[in-house]
Each structure stands twice: as C-alpha cells, then as structure tokens.
Amino acid sequence: MNPKPILLAALVLAGFAVAGVSLVAVTKAAMADRIAANQRLAMQRKLAAIVPSGGDNDPLADHLEVSDPERLGTALTRIYRVRRGDQPVALILDPVVQNGYAGPIHLLISVLPDGRVGGVRVLSHRETPGLGDKIDEAKSDWIYRFNGKSLDQPTLDQWAVKRDGGTFDQFTGATITPRAIVTAVKNALLYVQSQGARLYGEPPVAQHHAPEAS
C-alpha cells in the first residue's frame, strides 16, 4: 500500500485542525476585546448619569483606591474622579453594602465638591423582587431621592428611614434594604468630608510619545 495518500490526508486534516484552533482563538480574543469595550462604555454611562454638570476627563483612567471598611464596606473601594480641566466636579465612590437583606449591594455614589450627593445608583443586588428591589431605578424612583442631599440637609440625625426617626421612606414590608442604602450614602458623605479635597489629587499627566522616525 502506498503510504503517501494516507500521509497527505493526515497532513491536510492536521492543517484544518490548526486553522480551526487558530480561528477559534482569534474569534475569542476579538469577542473578549468587544465585551471589555462594551463594559467600559456601560460604566462610563453609569458614572456620567450621576454627575449633573459632567466633566471632560475619563474617570475610569483617573481614579484611586482607598481603604475604610467601616464606612465603605470592603477592604478596598475605588473612587473615580471627575474633573473639568483642572477643576474638581465630583467624586464617585463604589462601596459595597454588606448588610443588604439578601446579600451585598454594590453602589455608585457621587459626591459634589460642596458636599451634596450628585446621584446614587445600584450596580448589583440580590434583594427580594417586589420588595427590596425597589432600590433599582428600573423598579422605582426611590434611589433618586438622595439627589442634592448633604450632611446638613437633612441633618445628620435625620439620615435614617422614617421607621428609625429619619427622613427617608422605607418600603412596605421591607425596611432592611433601604436602611442599608441610607446608611451607606451617609457614610460615603462622611468619608469624603473627612478626607477633603486631597481625594482629587493631581490630574494624571498625559503621556506624550515622540513621533516615529520616517
């Protein structure tokens, strides 16, 4: 039997296998890049949604990580800095509330330079549908009620749900969830107040590259 046709067939099959594996790898890499780009764009939109006046920098590239588990809920919390030119516009904290009713609640909280809340959004949660999930802006407008609030308005002792003698509404049949969010926003304001303008730091220096030689 002539082994050449068998060898040729084996080589062709091996070539197809290599080409197939390469195509899968390239496709997977392209999809990963696309997913990462879409996630980045979605996050940029979420950040922009809670900064009333907007900025002209990229907060995703201008951020720092801080540690204050007592107030911010995790070992490390990221703070995005929003600027317009060299002027501070907002700090956006992403604390994780550990004492939600059904588990941790991941938030975005923007704090303006004058100490007011620019906005609050829930990034993720596992609260009970129809009860605690009203913290989600898709379910109710409750989360918008933090807009413009500060440690002076309402006063610090009023930063609680009404059942606890505060000014914020709770949900019918669900107090734990709104209580946790109110406390988290208050703690974010207290953290920013305690740290002051140093959280803005210096704007990142743009990287300039020398033109390539022709």
The pLDDT of 74-103, averaged and rounded, is 93
pLDDT band at 213 (very low <50, low <70, confident <90, very high): very low
**Does residue 56 fall inside a structural domain?**
no
Contact criterion met (CB below 8 Å) for 151 and 190: yes
* C-beta of residue 168 within 8 angstroms of C-beta of residue 132: no
Q: How confident is the model at residue 6 (pLDDT cuts 50, 70, 90)?
A: confident
Residue 12 within any structural domain of the chain: no
pLDDT of residue 30: 61
Domain membership flag for residue 36: no
The pLDDT of residue 179 is 96
If you average pLDDT over residues 77-104, what whole number do you get? 94
Neighbour tally for 197: CB within 10 Å: 10
Q: Token digits for 130?
A: 């129809």
Residue corresponding to tokens 């204050």: 68
Specify the pLDDT at position 206.
55
pLDDT more than 70, % of the chain: 90
What pLDDT does residue 208 have? 42
Residue 128 within any structural domain of the chain:
yes
Structural domain total, the chain = 1
Q: What domain range includes position 139?
A: 63-199
Say if 144 falls within a structural domain: yes
**52: in domain:** no
pLDDT tens digits, residue range 128-163?
898 899 999 999 999 999 999 999 999 999 999 999
Give the list of residues 6+ apart from residue 97 with CB closer than 8 angstroms, or none. 73, 104, 105, 106, 107, 180, 181, 183, 184
Q: Which tens digit of pLDDT belongs to each residue from 25-73?
A: 777 666 667 777 887 788 888 999 999 988 999 999 999 999 999 999 8
Q: How confident is the model at residue 211 (pLDDT cuts 50, 70, 90)?
A: very low
Assigned domain for 40 exists: no
Amino acid 182: pLDDT: 97
Yes or no: say if 125 and 143 are a contact pair by the CB < 8 Å rule: no
- The DSSP string of 40-64 is HHHHHHHHHHT-TT--SS-TTTSEE
With contact defined as beta carbons under 8 Å apart, do 85 and 56 qualify?
yes
User: Is residue 42 in a domain?
Assistant: no
- The confidence score (pLDDT) of residue 209 equals 41
Measured between alpha carbons, how far is 191 from 79 in angstroms, rounded to an integer? 11
Mean pLDDT of the chain: 87
The pLDDT value recorded for residue 164 is 96
pLDDT reading at 197 higher than 70: yes
